[in-house]
Amino acid sequence: MTVTTLEKAADAKAATVEFRGLRREFGPTVALDGLDLTVRPGELLALLGPSGCGKTTALRMLAGFEHPDSGEVLVDGEDVTRVPAHRRDAGMVFQSYSLFPHLSALDNVAFGLRMRKVRTAERRSRAAELLDLVGLADKGERFPHQLSGGQQQRIALARALALRPRVLLLDEPLSALDAKVRLTLREEIRRLQQELGITTLFVTHDQEEALSMADRVAVMRAGRLEQCAAPAELYGRPATAFVAEFVGTMSRIPGRLDSGVAEVLGQRLPVDGDAPAATEIDVLVRPEAVRVRADDAGTARVVATAFLGAATRVTVRLPDATEVKADLPTHEAAGLGSGAAVTVSLPERPVLVAERTQ
């Protein structure tokens, strides 16, 4: 698997993509509600959010299949809102299998070159090269129905890359595949993207996928951008409660806010970031930050344990019926059966707080 002629794509400077105030309504549904987002040259940006939050709509606007009611899409500073899809220079991989059923894998990959009137010999050698790049050099003569789902998506990726597009658009390309294939293909897409240095927008509703692949992750909610940050920052310093709870696991523990200090579980902890105005608050904690200790005098009870390998996830019910998830090293969790009395505490570190919702 080599990148030879394809390196030319990397030579040309990678593109910047910018969404400005994109708005789109479908009848009563507001799919995009003023989306602002910038994708930096050569980065893989994951568009993450719950189903129906407008990720696909945003991607399709960049591809040219959907038109905004207002706002604009810029590629390298140029407004492309009125450019038809076939001149957008964007390669796309779809969520559903989208290979042309009547063409072999090789012809599928060569389709775009054919549309560009590239000569047959050159076309076939380019297509063969791309098939090699996605590790399917020997499957060129197969038809889509003779290929597995993972192989079809690889071919679709090769097809999307064939015209050396300035941006690569991936709309949940792995969601139809089984877990194992998904993992290997995830790594492969990332490797290819880095080798080619192509600006890539990757839509997914799977936070693990987004965090593990992307340079930056943009979390969307109801047609708007909630936060756009590198995975570590998104996980460690979520800007909003929505992001905190959507990315990774988060438990809410009720507490009180008193002059910038959170009182929770009998502890007084400083607040991380801006404190809300309310006094009734929830403290947001990751399972790995919660400490659980067996204690016969404890008022909390273990309600469930789940073995995760090196760690065990313990679900604890506090006296006020709040459930808190905690990850403990498996050897520590050994004695904690269902119903065991425990005490729960937090490390002496600044905590994230959010206004209580109910």
Partner 1 sequence: MAGSLNNPARVLKPARGANKSVRVRPWRGVVLVCAGLYFLVPLAASVVFTVDVPNQGITFDAYRQIVSADGFGSSLLLSLELAAATIAVVLLLMVPAMVALRLGAPKLRPVVEVICSLPLVVPPIAFVAGIATVLKWGPEHLSRTPLFETFVALQNPDFPVVLVLAYVVMALPFVYRALDAGLRAVDVRTLVEAARSCGANWPQALVRVVLPNLRGALLNASFLTLALVLGEFTVAQLLGFQPFAVWIYSVGGSQAQLSVAVSVLSLLVTWALLLSLAGLGGRSRSASASRG
Ligand X SMILES: Nc1ncnc2c1ncn2[C@@H]1O[C@H](COP(=O)(O)OP(=O)(O)O)[C@@H](O)[C@H]1O
| Inter-CA distances, 24 with 33, 61, 201, 290, 309, Å | 7, 10, 19, 42, 45
Using CB distances below 5 to 8 A depending on partner kind, what does residue 26 bind out of ligand X, Mg ion, partner 1, none? ligand X
| 210, interface contact from ligand X, Mg ion, partner 1, none, CB < 5-8 Å by kind | none
Strands ordered across the beta sheet of 261-264: 267-270, 261-264, 251-258, 280-285, 352-355
Of 52 and 236, which has the nearer Cβ to ligand X?
A: 52
Least gap, CB of 101 to partner 1 (angstroms): 6
Distances (CA, A) of 40 to 19, 197, 298: 12, 11, 51
Subset of residues 100 to 159 that bind Mg ion, contact rule: CB under 5 A: none
**Site string (128-167) toward ligand X, x via CB under 6 A:** ----------------------------------------
> In angstroms, what CA-CA distances link 184 with 62, 153, 213?
27, 12, 12
> In the bound complex, what is the minimum distance in angstroms from residue 55's beta carbon to ligand X?
4
Among 53, 130, 160, 169, binds ligand X (CB under 6 A): 53
What's the DSSP call for residue 48? Answer: E
Q: Taking contact as CB under 6 A, which single stretch among the options 5-13, 53-61, 85-93, 235-243 is the one that binds ligand X?
A: 53-61
By the 8 A CB rule, do 90 and 165 touch?
yes
CB of 233 to Mg ion, least distance (A): 25
Q: How far apart are CA 151 and CA 153, in angstroms?
A: 5
As measured in angstroms, the least distance from the Cβ of 174 to ligand X is: 14
Q: What is the nearest approach in angstroms of partner 1 to the Cβ of residue 348?
A: 39
Among 4, 51, 357, 358, which residue interacts with ligand X (rule: CB under 6 A)?
A: 51
Residue 56 as a binder of Mg ion (CB under 5 A): the answer is yes
Position of tokens 């990726």? 157
Residue 112 contact among Mg ion, partner 1, ligand X, none, beta carbon within 5 to 8 Å by kind: partner 1
CB of 90 to Mg ion, least distance (A): 17
* Candidate residues 6, 19, 56, 228; the one interacting with ligand X per rule CB under 6 A: 56
Q: Which does 88 bind (CB under 5 to 8 A by kind): Mg ion, ligand X, partner 1, none?
A: partner 1
Could you tell me how many residues of this chain bind ligand X (CB under 6 A)?
Answer: 11
Are 284 and 272 in contact by the 8 Å Cβ rule? The answer is no
HEC profile of 211-256? HHHCCEEEEEECCEEEEEECHHHHHHCCCCHHHHHHCCCCEEEEEE
Residue 29 is a binding residue for ligand X (CB under 6 A): yes
CA distance 302 to 342: 7
User: Helix and strand tally (H, E) in the chain?
Assistant: 10, 20
The distance from CA 55 to its chain's CA centroid, rounded to whole angstroms, is 10
Positions in the binding site for Mg ion (CB under 5 A):
56
Contact footprint for ligand X (CB under 6 A): 26, 29, 31, 49, 51-57
